[in-house]
A = this chain, B = another copy of it.
């Protein structure tokens, strides 16, 4: 059983979190999903309702898989030292560290992506790249795997990334089963990124 930390902070992006969680939730014997934030209690999503955080960064729990969403709230969260030091510590111990969209900005600011290949949201690509040092950012990628670290492109790309993590953990049939249960038209190729050119108008 792998314990997943679904990290939330004010104004996180809804689908960044819930797309991957949906895929993991098909395997309740393999993955235990826990929401984690600065404090236990409700945390409002960007443009949507609040999700209840079940655990707090200070609780001293260790997790096997970290899931870090992006969203408008990363503009504040990327300088939240409590969050960043928790991320750095947990990422050093976790089996997988994953981010969706601008969640990779938080991983970068926590030092987790130092010297690593990574990707991020396409519309925010230049802004994220400009704010970070020492990361080998890839514009054309549905998701990037570098060792135990998976970073995905914007929002929906997190579902394809989660299926890749499920494939690593449980095998290709499990990943395909999850896509079928969710009636999700999967993009199984990390290099097939139809949105790579979206942010190039800067």
Chain A: interface residue total (CB-CB under 8 A): 43
**In the assembled complex, how far is the CB of residue A178 from the closest CB belonging to chain B, in whole angstroms?**
10
Number of copies: 2
Q: Determine whether A155 belongs to the interface, using a CB cutoff of 8 Å to chain B.
A: yes
**In the assembled complex, how far is the CB of residue A198 from the closest CB belonging to chain B, in whole angstroms?**
6
**Interchain CB contact (< 8 A) of A48 among B13, B33, B48, B157:** B33
**In the assembled complex, how far is the CB of residue A131 from the closest CB belonging to chain B, in whole angstroms?**
20
Chain B residues whose CB sits within 8 angstroms of the CB of A53 once the complex forms: 49
**Interchain CB contact (< 8 A) of A181 among B50, B154, B183:** B154
Q: Determine whether A77 belongs to the interface, using a CB cutoff of 8 Å to chain B.
A: no
B28 touches A49 (CB 8 A): no
A28 to B183 CA separation, bound complex (whole angstroms): 28
List A residues at the B interface (Cβ < 8 Å): 6, 13-15, 17-19, 21-22, 25-26, 28, 33, 35, 42, 46-54, 121-123, 153-157, 159, 180-185, 187, 194-195, 198
